[in-house]
Amino acid sequence: MAHSPTPSVDNFDRKILDIVQVSNRTTSDQIAEQIGLSPAAVQRRLKRMRAQGIIQADVSVINPKAIGYAMTFVVQVTLERERVDLMHNFKKEMNANRSVQQCYYVTGSSDFILIVTAVDMEGYDNFTREAFFDNANIKSFQTNVVMDPVKVGLTIPIDDQQD
């Protein structure tokens, strides 16, 4: 965390990002037409932004139900002690745990907030056992069952700016 390799995102980049973050299978020709650039220029910019880490990844979003993961949970975890090494350990565990879709370290009432998927309640129960009860440093956790995933995804508001 010591270097920022010059963002350099202009308005053309922003327009491209706004499109690909919704659908990255949009062809360069389509993007080019929409933003008023040549297909090659669009490709060059995409390649540059992927290399620079502005575009972090290109992924398919899978319908959880299609593969039997019918339930989603939002879990708030409070640690016993906020020691740096224990926290680092917890982060590593969450990264490794395939049931954990997302994990945020937050300020406020709890320490971590997780988005967890499971096949069913029994599957979630197993997850809590493995992830929490076997962990001495976890003070408490509170579960919210998701009844409706109103909005999912990681779309970021991208607006034009005057550079």
Partner DNA sequence: GGTGAAAACGTTACGAG
Partner DNA sequence: CTCGTAACGTTTTCACC
Contacts to a second copy by CB under 8 A: 4, 7, 9, 14, 17, 20-25, 49, 52-69, 72, 74, 91, 94-95, 98-110, 112-113, 115, 117, 142-158, 161
Contact assessment for residue 20 and residue 14, using Cβ atoms and an 8 Å cutoff: no
Task: Please identify which residue in 11, 43, 126, 135 interacts with DNA, judged by CB under 7 A.
Answer: 43
State the binding partner of 29 from a second copy, DNA, none, CB within 5 to 8 A by kind: DNA
Q: Which residues contact 16 (CB under 8 A, 6 or more apart)?
A: 31, 35, 42, 45, 46, 49
CA atoms in the 13 A half-sphere facing the CB of 64: 18
The one of DNA, a second copy, none whose footprint includes residue 128, by CB under 5 to 8 A per kind, is: none
Q: Closest Cα to residue 34, out of 7, 15, 21?
A: 15
Q: Which is nearer to a second copy, 36 or 53 (CB)?
A: 53
